[in-house]
Chain A
Amino acid sequence: MFKRLGDTADTLTIEIDGKSVRARSGDTVAAAMLANGIDHCRTTPVTGAPRAPYCLMGVCFECLVMIDGVGSRQGCLVPVRDGMRVETQQGKREAGR
């Protein structure tokens, strides 16, 4: 959905749904997902519809993902770290996650 401009070199690796992808330090989780062509980050708890980051400024909560085991974090506010594990969220959250 998005492409990187010019020479902004990729510098670190994160895991999204078990797959290693490249991210740049300074990316948020949501930005890294968009740059890697991941077209949705969750499905809704109500109807299971796919959703992707909408505002990238912390107000819409469409970017909710599981980060290092903690569910429903706002991907657009969390900077990536090398080795971070990100999981997309499907429908209703499982209890305790």
Chain B
Amino acid sequence: MTEASDLASAYDLVVIGGGPAGLAAAALAARAGVSTVLFDENPGVGGQIYRGITSTPLKKRAVLGEDYWAGAELAAEAKASGALIVTGATVWSLDPTRQVGVSIAGKARMIEARRVIIATGSLERPFPIPGWTLPGVMTAGAAQTALKAHGLVPNGRVLLAGCGPLLWLLAAQMLRAGARIEAILDTTLRANWLRAVPHLPDFLLSPYWSKGLALLREVRAKVPVIPIERLSARGEGKLQQVDYVSRGKDSRRQADVLLLHQGVVPNVNLANAAGVAHRWNERQICFEPVLDVDFGSSVPGIAIAGDGAGIAGGTAAAERGRIAAIAAVRALKPSASVPDPQSVRQKLQREELGRGFLDTLYRPADAFRLPEDETIACRCEEVTAKQIRDMAAIGCEGPNQMKAFLRCGMGPCQGRLCGLTVTELIAASRHTRPADVGYYRLRPPVKPITLAELASLPISEAERKAVER
């Protein structure tokens, strides 16, 4: 186990996040002879897509599928590359001079990096429905993590709701593992099918379509799929019932577990706090960093690879990590031999082909992004959609002002679960665009650290003298 005191004070390259992008980037750079450290806050590498790849208790390969096991090779490559891989390491700060604040087992360090690759991936798009804070309601990704990393499946009456490829993948994996799913409540807008048709030719060329079709067939053969327009979770102290409207008709079902998913969005927190410029992506309805062809950001020396650069999936993430790493190696050590970035770009293009179709087909409906009156938008501070609309109506122009009025985005999750909802609610109320409303301005620490951790930072004699008399 690497401890904070084992770290050098500076590295050529610091990679933050050990999913496909981070693993591929660290492996490539370390093999080229660049001193590389990779930090991941989880107990093991793999990120979310390959979660538990080195430790999963699931031995039957078919349950998670071969695409999952492809992660084992990435993890092995990174391990063999000579990169220092540190798990259980939380990066809580990154500034424009590339000082990286990291905590390991309660001890903090500041590390200098000549180059940084942020590979913190994505998180599930907020799914604010009435009752989504009740115990028993979780994200589909959470159930997938429970399965991959811990061999756990939800118990009792289980419903899945939402849209997007991951929802179907989770359903298939759960069924293969022997779990029971009562029904899938499908929120895909019918009109989206028509809108997606122009993207169909590209999709048919992508690796996704045959896999996707097989998944849909596998799941539909075993689980009823109900198209819905409205959804709420009810219960006293925990989930007991799910209400929904299907084709204009009100229905309800008893339920113990409701798993929500409507796609993933870039996890912008660390990049935002480092001062990286972001822009609104209207097709993916989220903010993403502004990047050059090598995934370099607006802050010199900081690149962002993987789904954090805009959603494109796990295989694309690895290629993006390689492209960012090639650029880093070329800058740090021009004499080193690296793969030809052009060939990597071609692979990446093929991976990205299917996105237009998937983004358009699974674009979440307004009803599930812009919640109604008493629905909680900010889970941490328990701020409702109505409160946000009311404030926008009396002149509150943006998310940062909204913090001052309502405290939304100021709880422990620091806006990760409400940021997009708040931006879109303000934009809708004020008849403007999310791009003009903007996003929360985030500041370090992006993860909570204790005073004891801060106090454990090594200090120089000069620093001590500066404050002592």
Contacts and interface: CB of A to CB of B under 8 A. Distances in A.
A16 to B, nearest CB: 15
A28 B43 CA distance: 8
A82 interface: no
A2 B153 contact: yes
Contact of A8 (B88, B124, B151): B151
B134, B139, B150, B448, most chain A CB atoms within 10 A: B150
Interface in B22-70: 41-43, 48, 51, 55, 57-58
Interface in A31-54: 31, 34-35, 39-40, 44, 46-47, 49-54
Interface in A41-74: 44, 46-47, 49-62, 64, 70, 72
Given A8-B151, A34-B152, A40-B135, A56 B146 contact: yes
A39 B142 contact: no
Given A2-B152, A57-B48, A72 B142 contact: no
B57 A54 contact: no
Given A1-B156, A55-B124, A35 B150 contact: yes
A19 interface: no
Contacts of B154: 1-2
Interface residues of B, number: 50
A77 interface: yes
Given A59-B416, A60-B379, A77-B43, A5 B139 contact: no
Nearest to A77: B41
Contacts of A49: 133, 382
Contacts of A72: 412, 448
B237 A50 contact: yes
B348 to A, nearest CB: 25
A24 interface: yes
B123 interface: yes
B196 interface: no
B411 A54 contact: no
A26 B58 contact: no
Given A57-B123, A60-B379, A31 B138 contact: no
Interface in B131-178: 133-139, 141-142, 145-147, 149-156, 177-178
A97 to B, nearest CB: 11
B430 interface: no
A27 interface: yes
Nearest to B106: A70
B267 interface: yes
B150 A70 contact: no
B465 to A, nearest CB: 31
Contacts of B413: 59-61
A8 B450 contact: no
A60 B154 CA distance: 19
B322 to A, nearest CB: 24
A27 B150 contact: yes
B43 A5 contact: no
A80 to B, nearest CB: 10
B417 A60 contact: yes
A58 B237 CA distance: 23
Interface string B116-127: 000000011000
Nearest to B132: A54
Contacts of B382: 44, 46-47, 49
Contacts of A34: 146, 152
B229 interface: no
Contacts of B267: 59
Contacts of A62: 379
A52 B237 CA distance: 10
Given A58-B41, A59-B267, A51 B152 contact: no
B257 interface: yes
Contact of B138 (A6, A27, A54, A70): A54
A61 B146 contact: no
B381 interface: yes
B256 interface: yes
A5 B136 contact: no
Contacts of B137: 54
Nearest to B52: A26
Given A39-B135, A57-B141, A70-B450, A77 B151 contact: no
B238 interface: yes
A24 B135 contact: no
Contacts of B155: 1-3
B269 to A, nearest CB: 9
B57 A24 contact: yes
A8 B146 CA distance: 13
B223 interface: no
A5 B416 contact: no
Given A57-B48, A59-B413, A1 B43 contact: no
B149 A31 contact: yes
15 contacts: A3-B153, A5-B152, A26-B43, A28-B149, A31-B146, A51-B133, A51-B135, A53-B138, A54-B417, A55-B138, A56-B138, A56-B141, A60-B413, A61-B413, A77-B88
Q: Which 3 A-B pairs have the closest CB atoms?
A: A52-B135, A61-B412, A56-B142
